[in-house]
């Protein structure tokens, strides 16, 4: 690999390839999601068009939720609402566990406390 742009501020910092791969994968997935959203929504000619589009999306979402409220299982609704925050939290917890078990670095130790 090339030379790092930012060197670690402390000598005990660890460069773990597994954590690096997960971070790169998460970044790539985020860029793909943003690109997909931009391509699917297209570009608006002005700010008023953007606001109108967003209100139309909100209205459509509320109508779909109201119509399907009784038919969509509760677990599916929970998955839609909590999916992204839980996945980000899961990856962060995995990274913290990996550092603690494989490298012996705790959050407290990383914060020099």
pLDDT of 110 > 90? The answer is no
- Mean pLDDT, range 68-94, rounded to an integer: 78
Summary mean pLDDT of the chain: 79
How many other CB atoms are there within 10 angstroms of residue 77's CB atom?
13
User: Is 47 within 8 Å of 38 (Cβ atoms)?
Assistant: no
pLDDT of 79 > 80? The answer is no
Q: Is 5 left (phi over 0), alpha (psi -120 to 50) or beta?
A: alpha
User: Directed axis angle between helix 74-103 and helix 17-41, to 10°?
Assistant: 150
pLDDT-derived band at 45, boundaries 50, 70, 90: low
Distance of CA 38 to CAs 16, 35, 57, 96, Å? 33, 5, 15, 33
10-33 pLDDT, tens digit each? 666 677 788 889 889 999 998 998
What pLDDT is stored for residue 28 in this prediction? 93
């Amino acid at each position: 690999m090339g030379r790092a742009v930012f060197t670690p501020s402390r000598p005990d910092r660890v460069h773990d390839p597994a954590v690096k791969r997960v971070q790169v994968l998460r970044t790539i997935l985020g860029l793909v999601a943003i690109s997909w959203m931009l391509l699917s929504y297209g570009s608006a000619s002005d700010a008023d068009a953007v606001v109108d589009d967003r209100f139309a999306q909100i209205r459509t979402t509320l109508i779909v939720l109201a119509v399907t409220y009784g038919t969509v299982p509760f677990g599916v609704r929970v998955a839609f609402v909590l999916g992204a925050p839980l996945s980000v939290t899961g990856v962060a917890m995995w990274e913290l566990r990996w550092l603690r078990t494989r490298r012996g670095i705790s959050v407290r130790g990383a914060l020099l406390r």
